[in-house]
Amino acid sequence: MTARRILNVVRKEWRLMARSPSNLLFVLVVPLLLVGQALLLTWIVPRFLAVGVPDSSTIAPGLPDADRLRVLLLDQFRFFVLLIPAMVANVFATLSIVEEKITGTLEPLLATPVRTWELLLGKILSGAIPALVVAWASAGLFMALAVASGWGPLLRWVVGPSWYLAIFLLTPAISTLSFVFGVIGSSRAGDAKGAQNLAVVVVLPLFALIAVQVTGLVHFTPLLTLLLSLGIAALDALMLRVAVRLFARESILVRWR
Amino acid sequence: MIHIENLSRRFGERPAVDRLSLDVSAGEIVGLLGPNGAGKTTTIRMLAGMIAPSSGAASVGGLDPSTQPERVHEVIGLLTESPGFYERMTARENLAYFARFYEGIDVSGAVGRSLDRMGLSDRGGDRVGTFSRGMKQRLALARALLHRPRILFLDEPTAGLDPEAARDLRRFIVGLSAEDRTVLLCTHNLTEAEEICERVAIFRTRLIAFETPSALREARFRPAVRVRLAGDATGLVASLRDLPFVRAVEPGPEEGGLTVRLDDVDRDRPGLVARIVELGGDVLEVAEERKTLEDVYLDLVREEE
């Protein structure tokens, strides 16, 4: 019964999403912009920079400086891709509960036997799954365009255990976390803007992660990426419990007008 | 079917419901009447297990809404004040979505039956956003009935409906009682309450009265007749007060009129008219004063203020 209820929420959310052209456009345009930006940087930066990657760096030793720089930039995409679910969540997850309040559907919904965690998990999965699919599709598109740009040989320095772990473990974990934060924001806020302000908190650590990687302060080895992914997955489970606790049916019904 | 004992709810220092006690039998339609902010919706939400009481206890279909909210949700149907639908989804999709939360329900059968019952079968494939207010209200009732609940909480079911739609909905609610479903109805429409409710609970945070509409009228207002005379009637007041069956006489409410309260209107009216004629009064019209539930309600609420 629980699975049926969760699936029910997911299907309803997808149905509504599919019937809103502006939402679909947003989901498609944001990843394309990020892919485009990453490729543009990879193409343009080595042309303007006289300074290459320091010789002491472990990045693609033996390659010309411009290619080593390209490898460095291509490698950043695995972290840029994390921004996709975070940004999609900031729009969809933050609306998930607020919109139910606005349309008056929340009270009849809470009068059904659905449990809070079933409802919230359904809301989270309904956004996190498409965000994840879009993130993976973006990664695929990025690779295809990189190959088409003639950087195929450089990819062997980029795509390795760390890349796979980042794309297939870290991205789902971040995607889920983004939506958990979005849903928490949505259930606590009085309007969509307030919810988005609360949910933006998840984007800030991602920027920090990118900054740490770009500046070379920390090198994300496969082990570190794995530990980070598992840590965030554990945080997902913890935050889902927090979301259920924070979803105060009573105050949502009483305070919302 | 519903048992409420000293149920209270405070929001901070402000009491929303104060020591409410009442019982509703199976198949009964009971109206909750009270001004805005009297605590009607709060009471329904407590009974539906959606908010917790500050003190007191309730039992809905033998279940405790505080400790068994999900089981209570299986046996109740709730019509909220605002219909609340996903407007980009069709009526059928909306109902199916809500139906899937109930255990052991044949979703398509329940949806088809509910739409049919509310006369919406031909609009089942249309998006709810295209529906009128009346159709949304009927659809909301269809949603409340999906799982065939034994108990229905209806919050302002006819608010915003045109007279014909409101009448149809009232008939439908009476029909629910005939199926042995218990209905607790919040309404500001006192004519509606008088028409369909077997008993009414008038309350303003605390219970003021809980009786049948006719019993409330009788308890509150002694039967009276209104007499209209040609010319001034005030000269007759003192003489009429001396009659043994007259309880009170007041001039008015219109010019040349008298309102006379009697022990028994049918029995005492001829004697009253005879005495007026004897005193020289020129009687133009004699009519029984009809007090409505609205008069009772306003009188009780004003007294409470």
What is the sign, positive or negative, of the torsion defined by CA atoms of B208, B211, B217, B220?
negative
- How high is the ipTM of this complex? 0.78
Copy the structure tokens of residue A233: 């997955």
Q: Could you tell me if B217 and B293 are in contact, meaning their C-beta atoms sit under 8 angstroms apart?
A: yes
Q: Inspect the interface and report whether the beta carbons of B84 and A107 lie closer than 8 Å.
A: yes
Q: Say what the pLDDT of residue B102 is.
A: 94
Q: Inspect the interface and report whether the beta carbons of B102 and A112 lie closer than 8 Å.
A: yes
In chain B, domain spans: 2-211, 222-290
The number of domains in chain A is 1
Q: How far is B140 from chain A (nearest CA, A)?
A: 9
Q: Say what the pLDDT of residue A255 is.
A: 66
Give the mean model confidence (pLDDT) for residues A156-169. Answer: 88
Q: Inspect the interface and report whether the beta carbons of B88 and A113 lie closer than 8 Å.
A: no
Return phi, psi of residue A33, to 5°. -65, -45
Q: Measured between CB atoms, which of B51, B78, B82 is closest to A254? A: B51
Q: Inspect the interface and report whether the beta carbons of A113 and B87 lie closer than 8 Å.
A: no
Task: Give yes or no for residue A209 having a pLDDT over 60.
Answer: yes
- Residues in B touching A114 (Cβ below 8 Å): 101
B224-229 and B206-211 beta bridge pairing: unpaired
Return phi, psi of residue A70, to 5°. -60, -40
Q: Could you tell me if B181 and B154 are in contact, meaning their C-beta atoms sit under 8 angstroms apart?
A: no
Q: pLDDT-based confidence at B23, cuts 50/70/90?
A: very high
Q: Measured between CB atoms, which of B50, B86, B93 is closest to A111? A: B50
Q: Say what the pLDDT of residue A214 is.
A: 66
> Is this structure's pTM higher than 0.90?
no
Render pLDDT for B89-124 as a digit per residue (tens, 0 to 9).
999 999 999 999 999 899 999 999 999 989 899 999
| Residue B289 CB-density burial (10 A; 0-12 exposed, 13-18 middle, 19+ buried) | middle
Give the mean model confidence (pLDDT) for residues B75-87. Answer: 92
Q: How far is A38 from chain B (nearest CA, A)?
A: 36
Chain mean pLDDT for chain B: 89
Task: Tell me, yes or no, if B10 comes closer than 8 A to chain A by beta carbon.
Answer: no
In 3D, which of B243, B285, B233 has the Cα closest to residue B267?
A: B243
In 3D, which of B125, B176, B121, B129 has the Cα closest to residue B153?
A: B176
The one-character DSSP state at B63 is B
Task: Give yes or no for residue B273 having a pLDDT over 70.
Answer: yes
Class of domain B2-211: alpha beta
- Identify residue B255 by its one-letter amino acid code: E
Q: At what angle do helices B163-178 and B133-144 cross, to 10 degrees?
A: 10
Q: Measured between CB atoms, which of B76, B83, B88 is closest to A104? A: B83
Copy the structure tokens of residue A149: 């740009």
Render pLDDT for B28-39 as a digit per residue (tens, 0 to 9).
999 999 888 888
Q: Which residues span the domain enclosing A142?
A: 2-255
Task: Give yes or no for residue A206 having a pLDDT over 90.
Answer: no
Q: Inspect the interface and report whether the beta carbons of A104 and B84 lie closer than 8 Å.
A: yes
Q: How many beta-carbon pairs under 8 angstroms link A with B?
A: 73
Class of domain B222-290: alpha beta
CA A254, CA A239: separation in Å to the nearest integer?
A: 24
* A6, A98, A105, A109, best to mutate vs chain B, most B CBs in 10 Å: A105
Half-sphere exposure of B264 (CA within 13 A, CB side): 3
